[in-house]
Amino acid sequence: MSIPDYQTVMLPLLRHISDGQEHATREVTDHLAQEFELSDVERRELLPSGRQSTFDNRVGWARTYLKKAGLLANPRRGIMNITDRGREVLSTNPDHINVSLLEQFDEFTEFKKTRRAPKKEPTIPGPDDESTPEESLEAAFQKIRDDLADDLLRQIKECSPTFFEHLVIDLLVSMGYGGSRREAGTAIGQSGDGGVDGSIKEDKLGLDVIFIQAKRWEGTVGRPEIQKFAGALQGQRSRKGIFITTSGFSKEALDYVSNIETKIILIDGTTLADLMIDHDVGVSRLASYDVKRVDTDYFTET
């Protein structure tokens, strides 16, 4: 079964705590995961930020909305129980509980009104929106990142071969390879020698050397090109190489590198753009936003 959206979680959550007892958040979340028959893989699925489980996030927002509508309460940190209003709602035997149903309660509508947003409320899911605020925010972030990656790749394909070589140098040095920028610059950009464009130190001490092939490519790079590169590595008595291209690799090429002893890393255009973004190469920071939450420990009175 797929991971349910946060509104689908609301009714099962309220039913589970309808016994009038206090329930721990983790216990409720585990119970709901079993009720929805989620697999271990689905339980481990993370939001794009990698900081929280997708299912935990959706249960959290279902709990928040039910609380804002007065259907459940949090008597203390990490604990929830049903309220009289919550029992009244369940007594009507609803088929579901969603944002539309919660809007009948003044506390919930007031909560939505007081949420601050510049022009509209993109962070407040509507009745037909299955995303939590974090998911909406991260989806918007990913869209911006994807568009940036596409723009980067277009720019890379329009640059000269020499500039592309310098770009590769900048990226590898930013990732911690090559020692200094000057040392890396003397190693890459050599004339091709048997399928190798240059080499770079694996670390600042130069304990090992990695050979590089960097090509602006329009068509898919196939197995023959990778075999040629692997042969060049053997000629250099090297077991490590990086093949960077602005296009992509065929399945045969990917299968080939996974079955040989020589360690060859294939970096396609999409991965190249992602690495440039991650390591601030060819991009500049436009704005940053900190997503914060209440520090409940701060408000704990001793």
Answer left, alpha or beta for residue 150, where phi above 0 means left and psi between -120 and 50 means alpha. alpha
Q: What is the pLDDT along the chain (302 residues), one digit of tens a residue?
A: 689 999 999 999 999 999 999 999 999 999 999 999 999 999 999 887 777 899 999 999 999 999 999 999 999 888 999 999 999 999 999 999 999 999 999 999 888 876 543 333 334 444 445 678 888 888 888 888 888 998 899 899 888 888 888 888 889 888 888 766 666 655 555 544 556 777 787 776 767 888 888 888 888 999 999 999 999 888 888 888 999 999 999 999 999 999 998 899 999 999 999 999 999 999 988 777 777 877 766 776 65
* Angle, alpha carbons 73-30-97 (nearest 5°): 50
Written as six digits, the tokens of 238 are 């090297």
Domains of the chain listed by start with CATH number: 6-131 (1.10.10.10), 153-278 (3.40.1350.10)
Whether the predicted model's global pTM rises above the 0.75 cut: no
Answer left, alpha or beta for residue 165, where phi above 0 means left and psi between -120 and 50 means alpha. alpha
